[in-house]
């Protein structure tokens, strides 16, 4: 595998982490990311986008950065606009040849990036982690209602948007910088339905997307709220149909 970064990229891999009130887990996440990335033969950066946290998340991150100045870690602070907005901000600031966004609790361990890389190196431009393929390893499952609603959401996505992915919502997706910087500026949905819009755009533009089985561990501190976020995700499907049914952006 060739880990040499492209001439237009400062790093081989950028890891974008949206954070919102993550004071309980963010320090553990930062140490795990740093320890893993420092062992790799390629250059990397970590971009954390604080989506208007009201706890001590920002202070913890700043303290970590000050203690590890040798690491390439950037904290971006924004107003509270939603996970999709935070991810978009980080993706557009990233300088890596490949750009991964991951949930702050690392429900999909960072080591799983190697599975995505194996497909990106074969010519795919987007590789997404999946919990719903036969080879996926879900070690700690979601509560039953969340799991069932997730399956329903994926079914509606396939039906109404003609998308064939088994899991659009796993927070572990990697893009080539070309694709990321083409698609994310066009993003209109900033709540939990943004994943579907990004995949919809990538497919419509003809980019090669690979759904990859990954290891996944449900976090009890997940920020997903069953009914509120299910509403926003379902609303997102109809927004996508409305945005792109008549005219597709160039």
Asked whether residue 2 is assigned to any structural domain, the reply reads no
- Residue 140 pLDDT exceeds 60: yes
How does pLDDT run across 113-134, given as a tens digit for each residue? 999 999 999 999 999 999 999 9
pLDDT at 127: 98
Asked whether residue 151 is assigned to any structural domain, the reply reads yes
Expressed as residue numbers, the domain containing 85 is: 11-244
Asked whether residue 1 is assigned to any structural domain, the reply reads no
Q: What is the mean pLDDT of the chain?
A: 89
Asked whether residue 3 is assigned to any structural domain, the reply reads no
User: Angle, nearest 10°, between helix axes 83-93 and 194-204?
Assistant: 50
**CATH number for position 131:** 3.90.550.10
Asked whether residue 178 is assigned to any structural domain, the reply reads yes
pLDDT at 222: 56
- Residue 219 pLDDT exceeds 90: no
- Quickly tell me which residue has 């659009």 as its tokens: 168
Please count the structural domains in the chain.
1
pLDDT at 103: 97
pLDDT at 227: 55
Q: What average pLDDT does the segment 27-35 reach? A: 98
Phi, psi angles (nearest 5°) of residue 195 = -55, -45
Q: How confident is the model at residue 221 (pLDDT cuts 50, 70, 90)?
A: low
pLDDT at 43: 97
Phi, psi angles (nearest 5°) of residue 31 = -65, -40
Q: What average pLDDT does the segment 176-184 reach? A: 98
Q: What average pLDDT does the segment 29-57 reach? A: 98
Q: What percent of the chain has pLDDT over 70?
A: 87
- Asked if 48 and 77 touch (Cβ cutoff 8 Å), the reply is no
pLDDT at 5: 60
d(CA 225, CA 237): 18
- Residue 159 pLDDT exceeds 90: no
Asked whether residue 186 is assigned to any structural domain, the reply reads yes
Asked whether residue 4 is assigned to any structural domain, the reply reads no
* Beta-ladder partners of 77: 50
d(CA 28, CA 156): 36
- Asked if 173 and 209 touch (Cβ cutoff 8 Å), the reply is no
The CA distances from residue 199 to 100, 202, 239, in Å, are 14, 5, 14
Q: What average pLDDT does the segment 26-38 reach? A: 98
Please state whether beta strands 137-140 and 73-78 pair in parallel, antiparallel, or not at all (unpaired). Answer: unpaired
């Amino acid at each position: 595998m060739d880990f040499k970064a492209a001439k237009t990229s400062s790093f081989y891999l950028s890891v974008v982490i949206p954070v919102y009130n993550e004071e309980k887990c963010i320090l553990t996440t930062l140490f795990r990311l740093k320890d893993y990335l420092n062992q790799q033969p390629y250059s990397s950066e970590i971009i954390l986008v604080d989506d208007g946290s009201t706890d001590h998340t920002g202070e913890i991150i700043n303290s970590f950065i000050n203690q590890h100045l040798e690491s390439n870690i950037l904290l971006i602070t924004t107003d509270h606009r939603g996970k999709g907005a935070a991810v978009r901000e980080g993706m557009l600031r990233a300088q890596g040849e490949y750009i991964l966004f991951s949930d702050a609790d690392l429900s999909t361990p960072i080591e799983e990036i190697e599975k995505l890389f194996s497909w990106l190196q074969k010519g795919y431009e987007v590789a997404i982690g999946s919990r719903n393929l036969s080879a996926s390893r879900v070690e700690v499952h979601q509560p039953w209602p969340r799991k069932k609603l997730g399956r329903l959401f994926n079914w509606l996505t396939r039906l109404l948007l003609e998308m064939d992915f088994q899991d659009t919502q796993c927070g572990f997706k990697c893009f080539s910088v070309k694709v990321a910087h083409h698609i994310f500026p066009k993003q209109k949905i900033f709540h939990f339905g943004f994943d579907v819009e990004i995949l919809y755009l990538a497919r419509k533009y003809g980019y090669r997307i690979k759904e990859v089985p990954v290891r996944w561990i449900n976090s009890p501190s997940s920020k997903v709220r069953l009914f509120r976020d299910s509403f926003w995700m379902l609303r997102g499907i109809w927004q996508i149909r409305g945005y792109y049914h008549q005219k597709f952006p160039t």
